[in-house]
Structure formats: structure tokens, C-alpha cells
């Protein structure tokens, strides 16, 4: 790297410290934080400010599905900006958003046939929640407003979407619409009592759900919102049959079943949507973001069932307004990029993801031979390595050991970016990852975890 380039990155780092407020800062470092700078990316790799090449283990934040520096997407951004860079969705429509809505509807399960576009995942979930409230109001069910969510879930950073979040750490110092939420247990099989079967664990969760509906009254509950796999909660795959059972309870009680596929949609599990393909449920609303543009443009949205829209159109309140929209809803550049991204997925990347998935899990599962590793779990190209103090009892490791951060630091030295989550590490590489790159990833993780174990001795 030239001296000039090195000086540019140094200057940018100082500018960030002096002027940038980074996401999720702590009070002690807010507005004064130097985070590692990435300079460029290509395929599954990113390059840091020193020109070092690293495998992008988390694909940014579960999003760069087609990989970095995809020329087709880059060209599309430019072409659409030269054609129509923006139009107000209040008064007009653009061609890419209409075509994208049609193509998303073709992939969506059941009668989920209309799409509302947003700027990302939080705004997608926020839109779904506001829609659920509107749907109750227009039907004259003004009391039907509570939302069922779960410990361990993550749904965003706007007020309502964040109110669903289930991580205690993120809840300590912020305000939330807690009065609206009914919070249930995390469906984490690894943390079930050691002597309980998976079937009993699942039955217990379903009973808890049914009891909560009875206790609060279906007339007071608008919706359930959940991720098919809790991504940021640690890639938690619920027990088999769980979703189908709670879907049935929702259907029987006129409770909207909203599935947050911000992470799982657009390829991560080898399908455009995972709800039906992987979990055998047809939701009332699906939210999506991230992989829809592979992170090349901020875009998200919700796909809504025609049954709900038909119900609204036939209601006694045709004058009722869904007073909700964003300046950047249906952004033409984002939608044009998403169309090309979907072409790439449909052409062969979905097939490839399903094909490479078993190898990815085989290689990562082998890390369970390391004493620190309690479990490696996942589905599709999503995996989590959970560290424990004791493998027999699954006793959690002390949080102040900062085991995730340590593993990430060691892995970065060895050429791999990891997403640390306290005592866990999450891997969700770009879907274009090859077998050889999976081998490197697994080797680096093995060494990074081994070095961490030596640190902790």
C-alpha cells in the first residue's frame, strides 16, 4: 500500500474518532471510538486498512450473500442512478419496485402476494407491527394490540422493533414499549434441562404459548413476531414441530403470525424464503432485508397476505388510512439492485448454497473436539460456536472472560473475521464460499479457539 493510501486511512480513523457516532456504543466511548477500518472487498474476502486479506466470516452482518465486488450489482447501481435515481412513492411508482414486488410474491408462500418496501430490517419489522395494529383498529378490535415475542430474539433498533428484542444486555439502559409485549421463553434446545427430551422441550414451549394466549386473551393479542432461526441470539434452531404448533394456535385465535426473515430470506438457508421451505409454515406477514440486495443498497420490506388486504378493503372503514410510509420506500436503485441479486440467486446460487451447506457444517462441527466448545449448531450457511465452562453440564462460561472477542482477535490475526457474541461466535459467510475457503475458515477457527484456550489457562 502506498504511503498516500496509508495516510488516508489514518486520517479517516481519526475523523471517525472525532466525529462519528458508531452503532451500539457504550456511554464510556460514545463518539470517541476507533473501530477497525475495512478498505475493500472481493468475493468472500475483505481487506483491512493495512492491506491484509480476511475471510468475511459473518458476511458483514448476514448480508453480503453474493459476495463483495459483484460487477453486475455495481453496474446496476450506476445504470439505475442514471435512469431514475429517485421518485416519491407518495405520488408515483417506478418500474423496478413493481417488478421486484411481483417476483418476491412469486417466491413467497401461500397468498403472501403484496410487498411494502422499507429501508432495512428494523423498518420492515416496525411496518409489520404498525400494520398489525392498523388491522385490529380497522376491524373494530381496538383492544387487540399485544405482541408475542421471545427471549433471545432480535428484530431491530426502532422503538417498536427494539421492544421485541430479548437480549437482557441490550435492555438495561433504554426505554421500550414493554406494556405491549408478551415475552416468552427462548426455544434454545442447547439450554434445555439436561434430562429433558427434545419432544418434551418442544411441548413445554407450545404449552407456554397456549397458556399466554389464554391468560392475556386472544381479544388482546394482535400478533406473534419471531425469527425462524434466532440469528443474533446465537443461531438458535427451534425444535422440530415448534413453529407449526404455534402457527396453529395463532390461526385458531386470530393472531397474526409474523415471521422475521431479515436474516434467513434471500439465500442464507438455500431458499428465497425459509418459512415454508424449511419450517413448513405459511405466515401472514414475512419481513425481509439484508440479503435482498446482498447489502449493496439499504432495502427491506414486508410481504403481506392477500387475505389481510382483502379484509381491509372490504371493511366498514374504507376511509381509514394506514398512515405509514417512508421517503425511501420502493427506492428505484435498491429495487433494481435487488432484481439482479435475485437473478443471481435463482440462476444457481440457491442450488449451490444447498449443495455446500453439509460440508460447511461438517467442517465446523469438528470444532466440537475442542474443550471450550459446547456446541456448534446451525442451518444453511449460518452457524454458531457456543463456548462453555463445562461440556457435560453445559454450564455457561463467565461473561467477563470475553471469549468471543478473544476468538475474533486471534482469528483476525490469522485471516478471518468472526462475529463475536459474548460467549459465542457466529459464522454466516457469503454464499459464494468455496470448499477450500471453508477449509481455511475451519482451520483458522480451530487455531483461534486453541489460542483462546491457552489465554484462559
By the criterion CB under 6 A, which residues form the site for ligand PLP?
61, 120-122, 125, 154-156, 227, 231-232, 260, 262-263, 289
d(CA 291, CA 265): 7
d(CA 181, CA 211): 15
Is 294 or 452 the residue whose CB approaches ligand PLP more closely?
294
Is 260 or 408 the residue whose CB approaches ligand PLP more closely?
260
Q: What are 52's three cell numbers?
A: 491484509
- The answer to whether residues 128 and 302 touch, using CB atoms and an 8 Å cutoff, is yes
Residue written as cell 441479486? 341
| Cα within 13 Å of Cα(391), Cβ side | 11
Is 164 or 206 the residue whose CB approaches ligand PLP more closely?
164
Is 45 or 288 the residue whose CB approaches ligand PLP more closely?
288
The β-bridge partners of 183 are 149
Is 152 or 448 the residue whose CB approaches ligand PLP more closely?
152
Q: How many CB atoms lie within 10 A of CB 2?
A: 7
Is 167 or 353 the residue whose CB approaches ligand PLP more closely?
167
Min. distance of Cβ 369 from ligand PLP in angstroms?
Answer: 30
Min. distance of Cβ 260 from ligand PLP in angstroms?
Answer: 5
Q: At what angle do helices 242-252 and 198-216 cross, to 10 degrees?
A: 20
Residue number of the CB closest to ligand PLP reads: 121
**270 Cβ neighbours under 8 A, 6+ residues apart:** 277, 350, 351, 353, 354, 357, 380
d(CA 326, CA 329): 5
Min. distance of Cβ 92 from ligand PLP in angstroms?
Answer: 25
d(CA 35, CA 417): 13
Is 139 or 183 the residue whose CB approaches ligand PLP more closely?
183
Strand 45-48 and strand 285-288: pairing? unpaired
Amino acid at each position: 500500500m502506498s504511503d498516500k493510501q496509508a495516510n488516508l486511512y489514518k486520517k479517516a480513523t481519526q475523523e471517525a474518532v472525532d466525529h462519528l457516532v458508531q452503532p451500539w456504543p457504550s456511554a464510556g466511548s460514545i463518539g470517541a471510538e476507533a473501530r477497525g477500518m475495512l478498505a475493500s472487498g472481493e468475493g468472500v474476502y475483505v481487506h483491512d486498512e493495512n492491506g491484509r486479506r480476511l475471510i468475511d466470516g459473518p458476511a458483514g452482518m448476514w448480508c453480503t450473500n453474493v459476495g463483495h465486488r459483484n460487477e453486475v450489482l455495481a453496474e446496476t447501481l450506476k445504470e439505475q442512478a442514471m435512469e431514475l435515481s429517485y421518485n416519491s412513492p407518495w405520488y408515483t411508482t417506478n418500474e423496478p419496485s413493481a417488478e421486484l414486488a411481483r417476483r418476491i410474491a412469486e417466491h413467497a408462500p401461500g397468498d403472501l402476494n403484496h410487498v411494502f418496501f422499507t429501508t432495512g430490517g428494523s423498518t420492515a419489522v416496525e411496518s409489520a407491527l404498525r400494520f398489525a395494529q392498523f388491522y385490529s383498529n380497522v376491524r373494530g378490535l381496538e383492544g387487540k394490540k399485544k405482541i408475542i415475542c421471545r427471549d433471545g430474539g432480535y428484530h431491530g433498533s426502532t422503538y417498536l422493533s427494539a421492544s421485541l428484542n430479548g437480549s437482557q444486555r441490550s435492555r438495561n439502559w433504554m426505554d421500550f414499549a414493554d406494556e405491549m409485549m408478551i415475552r416468552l421463553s427462548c426455544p434454545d434446545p442447547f439450554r434445555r434441562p439436561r434430562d429433558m427430551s427434545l419432544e418434551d422441550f418442544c411441548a413445554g414451549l407450545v404449552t407456554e404459548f397456549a397458556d399466554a394466549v389464554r391468560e392475556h386473551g386472544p381479544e388482546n393479542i394482535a400478533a406473534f413476531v419471531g425469527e425462524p432461526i434466532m440469528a443474533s441470539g446465537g443461531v438458535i434452531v427451534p425444535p422440530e414441530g415448534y413453529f407449526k404448533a404455534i402457527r396453529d394456535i395463532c390461526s385458531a385465535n386470530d393472531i397474526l403470525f409474523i415471521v422475521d426473515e431479515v436474516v434467513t430470506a434471500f439465500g442464507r438457508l438455500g431458499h428465497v424464503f425459509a418459512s415454508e421451505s424449511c419450517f413448513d409454515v405459511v405466515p401472514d406477514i414475512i419481513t425481509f432485508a439484508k440479503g435482498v440486495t446482498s447489502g449493496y443498497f439499504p432495502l427491506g420490506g414486508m410481504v403481506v397476505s392477500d387475505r389481510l388486504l382483502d379484509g381491509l378493503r372490504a371493511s366498514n372503514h374504507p376511509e381509514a388510512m394506514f398512515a405509514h410510509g417512508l421517503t425511501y420506500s420502493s427506492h428505484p436503485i435498491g429495487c433494481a439492485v435487488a432484481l439482479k441479486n435475485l437473478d443471481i440467486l435463482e440462476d444457481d446460487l440457491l442450488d449451490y448454497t444447498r449443495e455446500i451447506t453439509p460440508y460447511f457444517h461438517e467442517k465446523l462441527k469438528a470444532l466440537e473436539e475442542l474443550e471450550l466448545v459446547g456446541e456448534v449448531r446451525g442451518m444453511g450457511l449460518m452457524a454458531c460456536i457456543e463456548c462453555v465452562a463445562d461440556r457435560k453440564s453445559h454450564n455457561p462460561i463467565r461473561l467477563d472472560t470475553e471469549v468471543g472477542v478473544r476468538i475474533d482477535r486471534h482469528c483476525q490475526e490469522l485471516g478471518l473475521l468472526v462475529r463475536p457474541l459474548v460467549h459465542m461466535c457466529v459464522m454466516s459467510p457469503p454464499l459464494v464460499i468455496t470448499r477450500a475457503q471453508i477449509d481455511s475458515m475451519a482451520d483458522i477457527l480451530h487455531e483461534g479457539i486453541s489460542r483462546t484456550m491457552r489465554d484462559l489457562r
